[in-house]
Chain A
Amino acid sequence: MYENKMPDNIPLEKIDDYRWRIPRSYKPGMRVPGLIYADEKLLKDIYQDRALEQVANVAFLPGIVNNSLAMPDIHWGYGFPIGGVAATDIEEGGVISPGGVGFDINCGVRLLKTSLEYDDVKGRIRDLIYRLFSEVPSGVGSEGDIRVSPKEEKEILLRGSRWAVEKGFGTEDDLDCTEENGAMQGADPEAVSERALQRGKTQSGTLGSGNHFLEVQVIDQLYDREACDTMGLDLGQVMVEIHSGSRGLGYQVCEDYSRSMVGSLAKYNINVPDRQLACAPVASNEGRAYLSAMKCAANYAWCNRQCLMHLTRQVFEKIFGSPWQKLGMSLIYDVAHNIAKIEEHKVGGKEKNLCVHRKGATRAFGPGHPDLPEKYRKIGQPVIIPGDMGRNSYLLVGTEKAMQETFGSACHGAGRLKSRTAATRSIKPDILLKELESKGIIVKASGRNTLVEEAPSAYKDVNDVVDVVHNAGISRRVCRMRPLGVVKG
């Protein structure tokens, strides 16, 4: 085992208490500076691995505009840092990189509310979590009851959540409250390999493993009464959060196109310091093909989370003996945090068509944006930030400042602090379960490894991360939740 820390010579210029710059002069080949959102406390953690080096590497991407951005939950990934945002100008030869999206395409999170209060559920948390664990397929390679024919699978790739809603697994309101209404336009199943289709065919409606989870929470702090009223939220209200992605189908799409785009580097004379940043111009055949396939995987992930929500609603119906509508189980919002999107943003005062990569970062559009559902247009887009299983999660809203500074983006979670191997060495699963239970948190996990790898001490404190995005003005706190019970994949 050896340490792999940041080189000591990486220069950081302080802009203000929450923003730091890596100047272009750090590495010849950087086309823009790096811009890191963090305070001094988080910066100490960020310096523990090689994430800042990766921020500088992303700045090499052809067509990148303004800054290579890093959110306060940034940590070392592969190619892009996790918590990285980069936008490229399509007209200026801007590129798209599968590594800027990651293997779990459209990994994301959805938050639904209930009309239940803490007192309604406090004696039934264990029943609820154990039932959710048994009825929502989870774990590595988990397969679901939702079996689809090859033709139907392609329908999912085209139509995303709508496929699920038309099967009876949700409502039109759910689509209204999902980023892209649960399906990106322009998906082309022909761009997806047979292998990827094979990997996806039995995994609809499955949680997966690793950091994916299904969590029952209670609101324990309100920050913005107007936004809470708009979303129908109050103290003591029970919420459900679901974190999952595109499963094996997404991994295969990323692998297929990472492989082919390594060849594109020479073809388009692109120089990047890490092959995992392999890319091609968005407007090239290679770029268009990846984008079409990525959209398919993104749509698959939205359908997956829609199916997971449907299964969750069914479990609540059984436990509480009432239809989910009567239990008030409406979707607040669903956001992707591993994705590339073609969006219009102002650069140097001009509207530009950009390819915005969010690798472990959440879209956070400000008030008035036309892509938001009518009911949220006044307050801004809901931004869902899960923390670790022992602390908090947050609901925020996007801001105008995010539109100006971060292409409408914010953080995506707490961010890992300890490696999985370090967590496994230092944490005992039985002790961890007891500690969580002493805090009133019931956890059911598929594997003991997952449990310790995902222990709270393996993560930064989400409260610190959210403080930074709030204080930097790129999102605004609405309310905070604390976990009552967790199903871990």
Chain B
Amino acid sequence: MKKVSYQLIEHTADIGIRVKSFSLAGLFKKAGLAIAGLSLESHNHIYPGKHKIVIRQKAANLEELFVNWLNELLSVSAVESLAFENIQINQVNENYVDAVATGSDIRNYKINTEIKAATYHQLKVKKTGLIWQAEVIFDV
């Protein structure tokens, strides 16, 4: 699994993260991969095969797009029983993201924490100077 860096945000009931990147595409990729970092631990890779899933989302604004993106990854991961190990962002702007998420069988991993969904609570996606930064709270 591709490792990404993120900071944890203290929250009583749930888990929050802060991610930073020089590009919006990098921000979406990092946040998407942070889900796996938060919840999965490498176990025994006995189930072969890589699966590529196209993820396309749109929204009225960037923050809502960011939450929709993360929730789509969580939802597809649950339905397809996949752990997403890498993400390629083909296109992202304020209202639209087009990406390919590559994953392997979830049974290759030990699941430490179930992430139910990304929330809008205290959601921030903004660019300061050259740096894109996002903060999001997940319901766990």
Contacts and interface: CB of A to CB of B under 8 A. Distances in A.
Interface in B1-53: 7-15, 39
Interface string A173-216: 00000000000000000000001001100000000111000000
A82 B119 CA distance: 14
B13 to A, nearest CB: 5
A445 B13 CA distance: 19
A79 B111 contact: no
Interface string A34-56: 00000000000000110100000
Nearest to A259: B68
Contacts of B91: none
Given A76-B12, A78-B121, A419-B11, A447 B110 contact: yes
A275 B116 contact: no
Contacts of A420: 14-15, 113, 140
B114 A209 contact: yes
A51 B13 CA distance: 11
Interface string B62-94: 001000100100010011010000000000000
Interface string B100-140: 00000010001111101101111100000000000001011
B111 A141 contact: yes
A99 B14 CA distance: 14
Interface residues of B, number: 34
A275 B10 contact: no
A42 to B, nearest CB: 14
A195 B139 contact: no
Interface residues of A, number: 51
A276 B119 contact: yes
Interface in A389-443: 416-422
A139 interface: yes
B41 to A, nearest CB: 9
Interface stretch (A248-256, A310-318, A362-370): A248-256
B64 A262 contact: yes
Contacts of B68: 259
Nearest to A212: B114
A140 B114 contact: yes
Interface string B52-66: 000000001000100
Contacts of B79: 195, 198-199
A241 interface: no
Given A139-B111, A262-B64, A199 B10 contact: no
Q: Most chain-B CB neighbours within 10 Å: which of A76, A104, A448, A450?
A: A76
Interface stretch (A1-9, A25-33, A123-131, A327-335): A1-9
Contacts of B116: 103-104, 251
Nearest to A104: B116
A232 interface: no
A278 interface: yes
Given A104-B116, A255-B71, A140 B81 contact: no
Given A421-B8, A447-B111, 17 more contacts: A1-B7, A2-B10, A4-B11, A76-B12, A77-B14, A78-B120, A79-B120, A79-B121, A209-B114, A251-B116, A254-B117, A258-B120, A275-B64, A275-B123, A421-B10, A447-B112, A448-B112
